Structure 1
Amino acid sequence: MHRLPARYLVMIDADGARTALLFTEHRKPAGEFDASSEEVSVMIKGLRPERTAASAEWDQALAGSSRSDRLAAEVFTLDV
């Protein structure tokens, strides 16, 4: 089965650690790892984050995160 590519990378605090969450275009989970990893810096190089993780479009995808964590989160739209 073909997996959809990651379209968004959300950097958010989770359990006291900065976490990078990958989501497809439809905001379905596509991966999760430590935000300090080298892969994250490569993926977001040259991209500007948005502070949109608290908007309604992210409600279902980030339902397990607190409102304050979502407000502080950075959302990157990846070039795919």
Structure 2
Amino acid sequence: MSQTFGMETPRNTDPIAHRPPVRYLVVIDSGGSMVARLFVATREQAAEFDAMVEEVTAMTLGLTPETGAMGTEWDAALQGHNATERAAALVYTLPI
């Protein structure tokens, strides 16, 4: 039997910096289905999921998207998408 009472105190965690906040939400066609891709400010992908979930609606409520992700800043981030998909993409800039 343990000599401790109640729950143990949590162990110290590694002092690793948190990931940077998500800055962009891109809703783009991917082979016939719409996906939502989240990017940090450096255009590094943080997540990808189905664009039809209600969280996308909650994140974009009151925001106006830019149509098209044709700029050179999106070349590496969206390299798997063709020009037609990128031209029709909706790019939301999320408030931090």
Same fold (TM over 0.5): yes
Q: Deviations over 1:4-25 (max 9, x none)?
A: 1110000000021000000000
Superposition CA RMSD, Å? 0.8
Q: Which among 44, 51, 64 is matched to residue 60 of structure 2?
A: 44
Q: What displacement does 1:52 show? A: 3.8
| Structure 1 residue 3 displacement after superposition | 0.9
Q: Find the counterpart in structure 1 of residue 86 from structure 2.
A: 70
Choose 1 or 2 for highest CA Rg. 2
Gaps of 5+ in 2: 1-15
Pick one of 13, 19, 30 that aligns with 1:3.
19
Which segments of structure 1 move beyond 6 Å, counting only runs of 4 or more?
none
| Structure having greater relative contact order (Cα 8 Å, sep ≥ 6) | 1
CA distance in 2 between partners of 1:13 and 1:58 (Å): 15
Identity of aligned residues (%): 50
Query: How many residues end up aligned between the 2 structures?
Result: 80
Unmatched tracts of structure 1, length 5 or more: none
- 1:29 equivalent in alignment to 2:29: no
TM-score normalized by the length of structure 2: 0.80
Deviates more, 1:39-48 or 1:51-60: 51-60
